[in-house]
Structure formats: C-alpha cells, structure tokens
C-alpha cells in the first residue's frame, strides 16, 4: 500500500496532460517561419494553420486526443511546440536536413497577391454565450492578377473533415493542390473516377470520385482524402508526394479528411465506402465498425451516450455470463479449499513431490479443476481492446454526469477512483482466503491506475460497470460453492 500511495500522485500527474479543449481561433502566429501571420484553428483533434490566402500551411493531427500543443496566457501565444508535432503536410526531405512544408488548398495563379483579413467565427478571444463551438468557420478573400479568390472553410470540432467552398472569379480554369504526407517518402497515392472501377496511383484521373495520400495500415498512420461534393466536377493529377484537382471552374465544393488512416474513423466520417480506399482488418476493423454501429443504435434508443455505454456493458456482461461462470466457479472452489491446501503445504513443506501429490488428490476428492477458469479469464481483454479502439476514436456529442467528453480521460479522476475501488473489491473477493496473493495483486493496481488514466472515460465507465457486475456474479457463486463445500465438511476460513 505504501508503494501504491507513492505512485498514485505521479500517475495522476501524468493523466493531467489530457484536457477538453474549447475549439477556437488564434490569430497572428507565424507557423511555418515565412514571417507572415497565420491563423490557427485548435480543437481536441488537431491544430490547423491557414495563411492569408486560405492555404493550409500546417495540419497537425494530435497523436493523443485532447492534448494541448499551444499555450495561451495573458494574450501571449506560444506555438513553438508545433515545430515538433507531426505535420500532415510535411514533404519528405531526401537530404534529411531542413523541413519542407507542403500546403493544402493551394491555387497556383500568376500576379501579386493582395489579401483581406480573414473573417473568423467565433472571433478569436471572444466567447459568445449560447453559441456552439462545435463548428468553426473562416472566410479568406484575396486578389491575384485578374483573379479574385474566396475560400470558405467549415471546421467540425468533432471531425477530421473540413468542408471547403472555393470560388475563383476572373480565371476560367484553375486547380487545387495538396502536398506532403507527414514526412513519408513514398505515400500511398490513390485516385479513381466516378465511373471507373480501377484505382490509379500516378498520372491523370478523369471525373474524380476521390484522390488520397495515405500511410500504412497501422491505426497511427496518416491519411488525406479529397472528395468533390455537390455539383463539383474535377479531374485529378497524382504525383509521388502531391495530389491536385484540375480543370475547376467557378465554385468548387469539397470534403477533405485529414486524420488517421484507420477503419473506425473513416467509417464514422463516411469515407470507408469509397472504392479501394481502405480494407479493414477483422478484429480491430470490422468488429470495431459493428460495435460503433451498435453503440449508435443504442444512443438513438436512449438519447445519451453514457446510458448507451451502460446498456452495451450490461448486454456484453449477460452474453458472457455462462462463459464467466466457469472462471468464477473455479476461483470459488479454489478459495473454499484454500485452508486445506495451506495445511498440506505446511505438512509437506520439505517434500515437493508429496506436496504436489497430496494437492492433486485434494482437488480430485472435491471435484475442483484448478485450470477450469483460465480460458474465460482472458475473454474480456479482446473486447476491452476493441472498445478502446472504438471509444478513443468515437466523437460523443454529449457528456455524461460530470464527464465532459467520453472519448477523453476523466479530468476529475472520479471515474479512475471508482475503477480502482471496483478492482480492489474484485481482488479481495477472489483472494480473501489467500492473504499473500492479495498483497501481490494489490501492487499490480499501479499498472491498472496508469491504464485507467490513459483510457477514454467511456472505456473506464464500461470496465468499472463490467467489473461490478462480475463481482455480483462472483459473490453469488462463492455462496453456492461454500454451501456445497460445507456439505462436504470443507473447513471455512
């Protein structure tokens, strides 16, 4: 317990790095070092920097949701940590020296640029009561040569998708380019036409359905997907580190995804159905998609994400009840005969062979299978892993009780304390007749505390309730087994 008391403050401090960021705009920050002021949209998911022409010059997807890479104090902004953050638009430098910054939504035109101040909503530094900050909008307008360009962006704080409307007057034909993918030397380039069945990896694409730059299939790899929407028609041009939409006229409408190249997120934001974009794995891909669909269905049923998670937990626990019965029965039987095992250990302390024979004979006499609960013990772990994958990538539109965001760790640590309490009770019930085992497992709480601090609070809610329901099942079985053992004259501790 002393060791646990020392570790707890350290681990809780580690968890304090996560926070729920209020999405907002930040003005006048030079992100890419070109000595021009940029504006930044910051959310739980990313920091995106635009220059005065509405070109994205830095697209920083956060490896851990809810972490803050920009500090703001007394009107002073420090964005220096963005230089070390993964940048979706960084082009691989073959020389390995200076960074090469790419751009998104760039329109190559000739002539001198004269830009107006960006119109941002909500305005930086102004909190408008009663208005949602789930959506940030920006309008950039500039002239270049004979052309007037207006770019309107809608940033959804709970999505990696940006909606863009670009209008170019005075130029009969223009293109939009998207360059770089997080310093990957050879990103996976894809494009396909709306009426085509074959993916293209280089060259031209007619009547684009989508174009994309993607990393590997690991869930931490990046992806940039560009999809024309509405009445927009465009051709595509695919290069080794850049994709572009060409032959554009007038108004262009796009959905652009800049986030992780993984199944659950692409599914939630409506990209997984694009032909050839992504092939989900069975366990963490398809099972995660089925789970997210089921969770959404239950949310539509009860109207609250926390209640939906509770309902999901109860359903999973009931489905696993027969399988967990074997584990808890074996554990209860082992606890019931523990006093007799202790006597055997004392009697044959100096003879390991006789001690083993006597112990096995004891198991046979009372019909106890010491390995009966091993397999069911591991069943909750794959489910927990799938739920962690889903919840950490899910965007919950409502909080629950004191929890502001079920996709982020509990900022008040209440859920962590409840989780630890449930684990403590479960450990005590399962090892109460073996004090030495109880003490050994108690120190393992440090690991569980660390995990709970990292878990999305939705996962912690699930596992706490799952543990408490299992505890009730275990207590019922313990009573049944003890009554059965009493009939066989088995001593009670």
HEC sequence for the chain: CHHHHHHHHHHHHHHCCECCCCCEEEEEECCCCCCCCEEEEECCCEEEEECCCCCEEEEEECCCCCECCCEEECCEEECHHHHHCCCCCEECCCCCCCCEECCEEECCCCCCEEECCCEEECCCCCCCCCCCCCEEEEEEEEEECCEEEEEEEEEECCCCEEEEEEEEECCCCEEEEEECCCCCCCCEEEEEECCCCCCECCEEECCEEEEEEECCCCCCCEEEEEEECCCCCCEEEECCCEEEEEEECCEEEEEEEEEECCHHHHHHCCCCCCCCCCCCCHHHHHHHHHHHHHHHHHHHHHCCHHHHHHHHHHHHHHHHHHHHHHHHHHHHHHHHCHHHHHHHHHHCCCCHHHHHHHHHHHHHHCCCCCCCCHHHHHCHHHHHHHHHHHHHHCCCCCCECCECCCCCCCCCCHHHHHHHHHHHHHHHHHHCCCHHHHHHHHHCHHHHHHHHHHCCHHHHHHHHHHHHHHHHHHHHHHHHHHHHHHHCCCCCC
334's torsion region: left (phi>0), alpha (psi -120 to 50) or beta? alpha
Cα separation, 342 vs 340, in Å, equals: 5
Instruction: State the virtual CA torsion across 398, 404, 406, 408 in degrees, nearest 10.
Output: 140
| Predicted pLDDT at 108 | 92
- The token duo for 134 is 């789930």
Confidence of residue 345 (pLDDT cuts 50, 70, 90): low
Whether 446 shows a pLDDT value over 90: the answer reads: no
Pick the more confident residue, 68 or 358. 68
Whether 195 shows a pLDDT value over 90: the answer reads: no
Confidence of residue 380 (pLDDT cuts 50, 70, 90): low
Strand partners, 192: 210
Whether 296 shows a pLDDT value over 90: the answer reads: no
Whether 453 shows a pLDDT value over 80: the answer reads: no
How much of the chain, in percent, has pLDDT values that exceed 90?
Answer: 24
Whether 378 shows a pLDDT value over 90: the answer reads: no
Closest by Cα among 367, 323, 362 to 342: 362
| Predicted pLDDT at 70 | 84
Q: What is the mean pLDDT of residues 1-21?
A: 43
Q: What is the mean pLDDT of residues 398-413?
A: 79
Q: How many Cα atoms sit within 13 Å of 334 on the Cβ side?
A: 20
Closest by Cα among 486, 426, 415 to 452: 415
**Other CB atoms within 10 A of residue 367 CB:** 9
Cα separation, 439 vs 102, in Å, equals: 56
| Predicted pLDDT at 408 | 77
Whether 271 shows a pLDDT value over 90: the answer reads: yes
| Predicted pLDDT at 338 | 63
219's torsion region: left (phi>0), alpha (psi -120 to 50) or beta? alpha
179 within 8 A of 197, measured Cβ to Cβ:
no
Whether 444 shows a pLDDT value over 70: the answer reads: no
Whether 14 shows a pLDDT value over 50: the answer reads: no
How much of the chain, in percent, has pLDDT values that exceed 70?
Answer: 71
Whether 434 shows a pLDDT value over 70: the answer reads: no
Pick the range with the lowest mean pLDDT from 154-163, 174-183, 263-272, 341-350.
Answer: 341-350
| Predicted pLDDT at 7 | 38
Pick the more confident residue, 213 or 340. 213
Confidence of residue 461 (pLDDT cuts 50, 70, 90): confident
Pick the more confident residue, 56 or 80. 56
Whether 136 shows a pLDDT value over 90: the answer reads: yes
- The token duo for 157 is 């704080």
Q: Which residues contact 123 (CB under 8 A, 6 or more apart)?
A: 25
Confidence of residue 167 (pLDDT cuts 50, 70, 90): very high
Return residue ranges of the chain for CATH 2.70.98: 22-279
Q: Of 91-100, 151-160, 475-484, give the range with the top mean pLDDT.
A: 151-160
Whether 12 shows a pLDDT value over 60: the answer reads: no
Mean pLDDT of all residues in the chain?
78
Confidence of residue 420 (pLDDT cuts 50, 70, 90): confident
269 within 8 A of 160, measured Cβ to Cβ:
yes
Whether 440 shows a pLDDT value over 70: the answer reads: no
Pick the range with the lowest mean pLDDT from 10-19, 127-136, 151-160, 163-172.
Answer: 10-19
Q: What is the mean pLDDT of residues 221-241?
A: 92
Distance, first Cα to last Cα, the chain: 24
State the burial class of residue 406 (Cβ atoms within 10 Å of its Cβ: 0-12, 13-18, 19+): buried
370's torsion region: left (phi>0), alpha (psi -120 to 50) or beta? alpha
| Predicted pLDDT at 10 | 35
Which CATH fold topology does 22-279 show? Answer: Beta-galactosidase; Chain A, domain 5 (2.70.98)
- Give the tens place of pLDDT for each residue, 18-53: 456 788 898 888 888 888 888 999 988 899 999 999
Q: What is the mean pLDDT of residues 241-245?
A: 91
């Amino acid at each position: 317990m002393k060791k646990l008391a020392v570790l707890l403050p350290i681990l809780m401090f580690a968890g304090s790095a996560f926070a729920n960021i209020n999405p907002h705009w930040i003005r006048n920050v030079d992100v890419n070092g070109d000595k021009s002021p940029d504006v930044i949209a910051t959310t739980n998911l990313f920091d995106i920097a635009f220059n005065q022409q509405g070109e994205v010059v830095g697209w920083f997807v956060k490896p851990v949701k809810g972490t803050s890479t920009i500090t703001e104090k007394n009107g002073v902004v420090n964005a220096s940590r963005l230089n070390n953050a993964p940048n979706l638009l960084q082009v691989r430098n073959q020389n390995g020296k200076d960074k090469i910054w790419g751009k998104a939504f760039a329109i190559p035109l000739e002539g001198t640029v004269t830009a107006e101040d960006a119109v941002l909503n909500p305005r930086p530094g102004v909190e408008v009561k009663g208005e949602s900050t789930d959506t940030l909008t920006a309008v950039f307008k500039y002239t270049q040569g004979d052309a007037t360009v207006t770019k309107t962006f809608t940033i959804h704080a709970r999505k990696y998708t940006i909606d863009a409307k670009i209008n170019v007057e005075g130029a009969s034909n223009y293109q939009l380019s998207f360059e770089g993918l997080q310093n990957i030397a050879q990103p996976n380039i894809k494009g396909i036409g709306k009426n085509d069945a074959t993916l293209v990896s280089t060259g031209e694409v007619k009547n684009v359905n989508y174009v994309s730059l993607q990393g590997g299939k690991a869930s931490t790899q990046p992806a940039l997907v560009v999809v024309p929407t509405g009445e927009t028609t465009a051709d595509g041009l695919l290069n080794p580190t850049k994709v572009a939409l060409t032959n554009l006229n007038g108004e262009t409408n796009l959905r652009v995804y800049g986030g992780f190249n993984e199944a659950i997120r692409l599914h939630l934001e409506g990209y997984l159905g694009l032909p050839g974009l992504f092939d989900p794995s069975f366990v963490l891909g398809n099972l995660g998609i089925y789970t997210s669909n089921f969770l959404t269905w239950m949310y539509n049923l009860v109207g609250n994400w926390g209640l939906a998670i509770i309902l999901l937990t109860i359903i999973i626990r009931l489905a696993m009840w027969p399988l967990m019965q074997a584990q808890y029965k074996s554990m209860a039987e082992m606890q019931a005969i523990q006093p007799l095992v202790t006597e055997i250990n004392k009697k044959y302390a100096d003879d390991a062979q006789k001690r083993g024979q006597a112990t096995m004979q004891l198991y046979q006499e009372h019909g106890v299978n010491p390995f009966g609960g091993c397999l069911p013990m591991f069943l909750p772990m794959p489910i927990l892993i799938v739920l962690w994958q889903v919840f950490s990538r899910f965007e919950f539109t409502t909080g629950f009780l004191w929890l502001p965001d079920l996709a982020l760790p509990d900022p008040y640590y209440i859920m962590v304390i409840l989780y630890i309490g449930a684990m403590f009770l479960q450990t005590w019930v399962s090892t109460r007749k073996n004090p030495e085992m109880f003490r050994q497992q108690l120190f393992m709480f440090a690991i569980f505390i660390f995990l709970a601090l990292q878990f999305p609070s939705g996962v912690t809610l699930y596992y706490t309730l799952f543990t408490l329901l299992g505890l009730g099942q275990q207590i019922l079985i313990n009573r049944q087994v003890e009554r059965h053992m009493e009939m066989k004259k088995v001593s009670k501790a």
